[in-house]
């Protein structure tokens, strides 16, 4: 992904700091329209595309909504991803491990062919990197750490170089150094959870169902993965207390497999852990503002969310679609790309959706992270109630498939 044929310049329309899935998607959307973009990332090298999505699945995966799929199709990234490895799911099953409530959704009930796909993050990123290589107006600069931000859209690199553009976009992840350099405060909520992630091979096939059980300690998800036609793989996200996560990650694979099978009520039979188990701390963050003149936050730099609803990167991709739509409209009208009112419009269009999703995750966590008898009764009534109440269930399904509000053009 690092440019060799393309001539690097220090004069850009937009500098995107952070070439994760969100920053790479923004650079590709703008690059497709001929905007001169510098995409800077501290990681040293592109992903080895010929090794990605082959063999054992990578540990970090995302549930991508059909809306995110459409955005990636528009970017010309999806066909490579689909040829490499994506696993569609048509059903969702969520139940209360402490009670009797259970909700099931199907794509048919939601009136869509699929609820989404489970995709390794590396597959998404490698596809975007391939696409970026084809875009002459995008200069991808890896091994490039940004260490300073000055007013007037100037960024300072670790090696002392300076780059400038009318707009600097921070897509530099949940810890966002750029957000801090810009002095934007962030509301932080410790979820009390650490996610244990790994990959398993089950005795029974997943059947294209994304499953999640709410345990007293937190939610445990078995996300379906099909590997070379074998539909018995799942990616695990087990959100639990830090002490429990430390205990689980120290277990032998055989012992962890037994714990997973018991916690998951043997719904997919015996569980074999086929990768190491990694602990990822989970903190919910929401930046107090998304924009300043000539500066914008997107993706996890603006909001990081508990993974229990699998929404983080989907929200980030919607930020990107909306910001690109505003920027391209401004460019057509001859408005400067760092213009505050245009950036405010982006912030207004995205903040409400993101805040609503963060609040929903808080509610879920509080409701399910308790042993209080009244709340236990409420959540059992709630879950089975949700399964009967078609309009409420439909709303939840719409949320799951990412159909909220007005879609930006890139996702229609």
Interface positions with ligand FAD (CB under 6 A): 17-23, 40-43, 62-63, 145-146, 171-173, 177, 195, 197, 237, 280, 299-300, 307, 310-314, 316
Q: Work out how close the CB of 281 gets to ligand FAD at its nearest, in angstroms, rounded to a whole number.
A: 8
What is the smallest separation between the CB atom of 299 and ligand FAD, expressed in angstroms?
Answer: 3
Nearest approach in angstroms of CB 136 to ligand FAD is: 22
**Position of tokens 């809306």?**
67
Structure tokens at 57: 């699945």
Residue 402: CB minimum distance to ligand FAD, A: 9
Cα of 265 vs its chain's centroid, Å: 28
User: Residue 41 has which token pair?
Assistant: 């990332």
Looking at beta carbons only, is 311 or 376 nearer to ligand FAD?
311
Minimum Å distance from CB 33 to ligand FAD? 20
Compute CA distances 318 → 22, 163, 201, 240, 300, whole Å: 9, 27, 33, 28, 12
Is 17 or 94 the residue whose CB approaches ligand FAD more closely? 17
Cβ distance to ligand FAD smaller for residue 67 or 327: 67
Closest residue (Cβ) to ligand FAD?
A: 20
Among residues 69 and 376, whose Cβ is nearest to ligand FAD? 69
Please state the closest distance from residue 258 (CB atom) to ligand FAD, in A.
Answer: 22
Residue with Cβ nearer ligand FAD (124 or 271): 124
According to DSSP, the β-strands at 303-304 and 278-287 are antiparallel
User: What is the nearest approach in angstroms of ligand FAD to the Cβ of residue 144?
Assistant: 6
Minimal distance in Å, beta carbon 308 to ligand FAD?
9
Between residues 146 and 327, which has the closer beta carbon with respect to ligand FAD? Answer: 146
Q: Which is nearer to ligand FAD, 49 or 99 (CB)?
A: 49
**Which residue's CB is nearer to ligand FAD, number 99 or number 408?**
408
């Amino acid at each position: 992904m690092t440019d060799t044929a393309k001539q690097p310049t220090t004069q850009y329309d937009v500098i995107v700091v952070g070439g994760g899935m969100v920053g790479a998607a923004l650079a590709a959307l703008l690059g497709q329209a001929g905007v001169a973009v510098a995409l800077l990332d501290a990681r040293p090298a592109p992903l080895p595309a010929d090794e990605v999505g082959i063999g054992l699945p990578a540990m970090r995966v995302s549930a991508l909504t059909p809306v995110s799929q459409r955005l990636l199709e528009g970017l010309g990234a999806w066909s490579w991803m689909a040829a490499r490895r994506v696993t569609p799911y048509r059903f969702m099953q969520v139940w209360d491990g402490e009670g009797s409530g259970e909700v099931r959704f199907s794509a048919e009930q939601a009136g869509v062919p699929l609820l989404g796909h489970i995709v390794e993050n590396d597959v998404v990123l490698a596809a975007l990197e391939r696409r970026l290589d084809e875009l002459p107006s995008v200069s991808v600069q890896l091994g490039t750490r940004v260490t300073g931000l000055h007013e007037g859209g100037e960024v300072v690199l670790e090696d002392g170089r300076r780059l400038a553009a009318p707009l600097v976009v921070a897509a530099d992840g949940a810890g966002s150094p750029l957000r801090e350099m810009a002095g934007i405060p962030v509301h932080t909520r410790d979820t009390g959870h650490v996610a244990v992630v790994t990959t398993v091979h089950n005795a029974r096939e997943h059947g294209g169902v994304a499953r999640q059980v709410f345990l007293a300690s937190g939610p445990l998800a078995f996300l379906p993965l099909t590997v070379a036609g074998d539909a018995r793989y799942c990616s695990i996200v087990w959100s639990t207390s830090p002490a429990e996560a430390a205990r689980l990650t120290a277990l032998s694979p055989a012992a962890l497999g037994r714990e997973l099978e018991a916690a998951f009520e043997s719904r997919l039979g015996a569980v074999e852990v086929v990768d190491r188990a990694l602990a990822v701390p989970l903190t919910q963050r929401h930046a107090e503002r998304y924009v300043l003149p000539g500066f914008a936050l997107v993706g996890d730099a603006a909001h990081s969310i508990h993974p229990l609803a699998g929404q983080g990167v989907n929200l980030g991709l919607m930020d990107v679609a909306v910001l690109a739509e505003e920027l391209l409209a401004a460019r057509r009208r001859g408005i400067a790309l760092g213009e505050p009112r245009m950036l405010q419009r982006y912030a207004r269009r995205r903040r409400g959706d993101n805040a609503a999703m963060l609040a929903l995750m808080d509610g879920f966590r509080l409701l399910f992270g308790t042993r209080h008898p009244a709340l236990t009764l409420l959540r059992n009534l709630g879950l089975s109630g949700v399964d009967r109440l078609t309009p409420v269930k439909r709303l939840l399904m719409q949320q799951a498939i990412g159909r909220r509000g007005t879609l930006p053009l890139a996702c229609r």
